[in-house]
Structure 1
Amino acid sequence: MGLIVVSGPPAAGKSSWIKAHAQPTDIVIDLDLMALAMAGPGADHHNHHPALLKVVHRARQAAIHEVEHHLAEVDAYLIHTMPQAKARARYTRLGARIVVIDPGEDIVRRRVRDMRQPAMEAVVTRWYRDRRKGGSRAVTTQASRSW
């Protein structure tokens, strides 16, 4: 039992990886799924209103804090696209396993163009720039699945 932090650029396949690995009794903290659960019918899967995002970010933090008390009982999967040093230190303290999903920059950029809003391209650029500088170091790097 424990915490599994799933990281990677937008459209890398983080949610798909969790769907393939998590069990029904596991806890999954996924900002996009939380936003969909809190949004009205027909909401876009990835383009959320700023007010909704504020609510969801607070709910996500509360969920992360609470899940820390249950890691001996269940596995918890947490999507964190670009954890900074403070978050990485917290995850290390919790004994988290870090999984980085990265099918490659060309694939990610194509998926973002096809499936996401244009603003996500800047997040992809930041993610890969950070990786090149040695940030968000991975313990495990793998593709999400064969597309």
Structure 2
Amino acid sequence: MLFVVTGPPAAGKSSWIEARARARDIVIDLDRITRALTGPGAPQWNHNPTVTRVALRARYAAIDEALKYTDTVDVYLIHTMPSPKWLARYRRHGGKIITVDPGEALVRQRVRDMRHPGMDAVVTRWYRHHRRGGSRPVTGQASRAW
């Protein structure tokens, strides 16, 4: 099964997956991929353009390969704001779209406390898109202890 987990930055998407995924499942998370590709001491949320470019290419390759195995393992994929084209692709593979959103005020506080200041613009874009009628299943689940 394919689970596509969407939501604004700092919403708890990784925590949602950690609460459900088993060791044999595939988890595709750009933050985890970026950490795997950087050296010791790199920031947890690395926004270096070169590292991001390499991590995105690795993510696309991982998605292409993982979609071949959704009948034998669960695939959890974080995609903050998938385009209609990506959503159609995921649905063709039987993907279940999950939106994690604990609320804009909490998300903005988490971004202020823990993320790069540039992520605030992504939060604004995400909420603007969803107010216009983006995907709907929204959970107010609590995530990790921030």
Query: Is the structural similarity TM-score above 0.5?
Result: yes
Q: Which residue of 2 aligns with 1:128?
A: 127
1:42 corresponds to which letter in structure 2?
Answer: G
Q: What is the identity, as a one-letter code, of the residue corresponding to 1:91?
A: Y
One-letter code of the match for 1:10? Answer: P
Partners of 2:141 and 2:66 in 1: how far apart?
Answer: 25
Q: TM-score w.r.t. structure 1 length?
A: 0.94
Aligned to 1:142: 139
Q: How does 1:44-59 map to 2 (within 5 A)?
A: 44-59=43-58
Amino acid corresponding to residue 100 of structure 2 in structure 1: I
Query: Is residue 2:37 matched to residue 1:28?
Result: no
Query: Deviation per CA, 1:65-121, whole angstroms, max 9, x where unpaired?
Result: 001111111000000000010001001111101110000000000000001011000
Paired residues, what number? Answer: 144
3-state DSSP class of the match of 1:122?
A: helix
Cα offset for 1:47?
2.6
- 1:98: which partner in 2? 97
Match of 2:4 in 1: 5
Give every structure 1 segment of 4 or more consecutive aligned residues whose post-TM-superposition deviation is greater than 4 Å.
none
Q: Distance in 1 between matches of 2:96 and 2:142?
A: 19
Q: In the alignment, which residue of structure 1 is the partner of 2:78? A: 79
Q: Return the TM-score normalized by structure 2.
A: 0.95
Provide the secondary structure at the position in 2 that maps to 1:121.
Answer: helix
Instruction: Give the distance between the partners of 1:20 and 1:95, measured in 2 at CA.
Output: 21
**Structure 1 CA distance for aligned equivalents of residues 33 and 8 of structure 2:** 19
**Structure 1 portions without partners, runs of 5+:** none
SS in 1 for 2:19: helix
